[in-house]
Amino acid sequence: MKKKWMVTLSLLLLAETGAIAGTPPAPPTVEVDRAARLEVIDTLVAKLNANYVFPDKAQQAEVVLRQHQREGKYDGITDGKQLAKQLLDDINGVVHDKHLLVDVSARPVSPDDAMPPPPQTRAEWEKQVPPAVLARVLASNLGVEKVDHLSPNIGYLQISSFGPVFLVSDKFAAAMNELADTDGLIIDLRNNGGGGGDAVALLISYLVDERTRLDDSWERATGITTQYWTRDKLDGKRYGGKKPVLILAGPDTKSAAESFAYQMQALKRATVIGERTWGGANASRPYRLSEHFFAFIPSKRSISPITHTNWEGVGVTPDVAAKVDDALAAAKDLMQRQLNGGASLQHL
């Protein structure tokens, strides 16, 4: 559930490879020869076997890659982007993990041990993030896109990402203070690309009455399962666990946003409306494969103490099906019916 590795290091890596807007454009291609191909494949196989959250799937991926290697499938590839895509396509034939990525960088990729640990405070984060990224993030709304009243008694909260808690806690507090007087809440995650599990836990904390156990996280490296719970103390007004909550979701609801929808659904605290979500539940972090290649390899997975599984590969199934563009209208109608004394949303 805790995905700060993915969020923070993704920003650093993107900045490093020139993919952040405002940095000079990188050369379009990276050429690879036989030695480079061998290094990338050998390192990828080794790091999958050492780190991927499902060891048996990593071994299956190795069998496929080695077979294609023996058959000469990669021999004619001289473009780095093409090699990365082919390797990922071949792995996806057996792994099917949305958070697994193989890619190429025109600029040198940092060694694994050069990656800083996930920051725990804003001060630590500011030291790690490139200045251009820092300025852009701090000038943004930090994922809290809209806080509104759709009617005097229906609140609306649109979130596009779940940033680090030390950045979004004030935004969440302000939003919940503004929405505290509503009788029902619609949370729009239809265009939420994910983020940090700690921020997910923080927002859920506003929507329950008491300390509540959330998803656990199992880590491949240690074999340890960590339990996650809601927070007892909040900076904003607690919305509580009695008033109805609807969540809007769809194919662009990803990762941590799926975690929020899945957990609220499993807790029977919210009704999910829309279309099936993206389907990525395993937390990922970057690994260096060679000077110009890297892979994001999932090394942790979420486990619900209620369902004993997660949404990996299948997504979150809505309680109420609606086309993603029609989900808000459907939610407003359902919420108004509920508040006017209609049937419980949980049984629609």
What does the pLDDT profile of the chain (348 residues) look like in tens digits?
A: 434 334 444 434 333 333 333 334 445 589 999 999 999 999 999 999 999 999 999 999 999 999 999 999 999 999 999 999 999 999 999 999 999 999 999 999 989 887 777 788 888 888 888 888 888 888 788 999 999 999 999 999 999 999 999 999 999 999 999 999 999 999 999 999 999 899 999 999 999 999 999 999 999 989 999 999 999 999 999 999 999 999 999 999 999 999 999 999 999 999 999 999 999 999 998 999 999 999 999 999 999 999 999 999 999 999 999 999 999 999 999 999 999 886 555 444
The tokens describing 139, both together, are 């000038």
CA distance 301 to 282: 4
Q: Decide if 185 is inside a domain.
A: yes
User: Which residues are CB-neighbours of 31 under 8 A, at least 6 positions away?
Assistant: 78, 79, 80
Please check whether residue 290 lies inside any domain of the structure. no
**Of the residues 108, 133, 158, the one at which a domain ends:** 133
The answer to whether position 167 is within a domain reads: yes
Joined tokens for residue 106: 């025109």
Which range of residues forms the domain containing residue 29? Answer: 4-119+126-133
User: Do 182 and 90 belong to one domain?
Assistant: no
User: What is the rounded distance in angstroms from the CA atom of residue 343 to the CA atom of residue 43?
Assistant: 57
**Residue 202 sits in a domain of what CATH number?**
3.90.226.10
* Residues 41 and 165 reside in one and the same domain: no
Q: Does residue 286 belong to any structural domain of this protein?
A: no
Question: What's 347's DSSP letter?
Answer: G
Overall number of domains in the chain: 2
- Residue 202, CA distances (Å) to 183, 209, 234, 236 in order: 21, 13, 8, 11
Q: What is the pTM of this model?
A: 0.87
Q: Are residues 163 and 115 in the same domain?
A: no
* Tokens found for residue 233: 């103390």
Task: Assess if residue 179 is contained within a domain.
Answer: yes
In a domain, 310, yes or no: no
Establish if 165 belongs to a structural domain: yes
Residue after which a domain boundary falls, among 133, 166, 184: 133
Regarding whether 70 and 149 lie in a shared domain, the answer is no
In a domain, 299, yes or no: no
For residues 78 and 29, the answer to whether their CB atoms sit within 8 Å is no
Q: Is 267 helix (H, G, I), strand (E, B) or coil?
A: coil
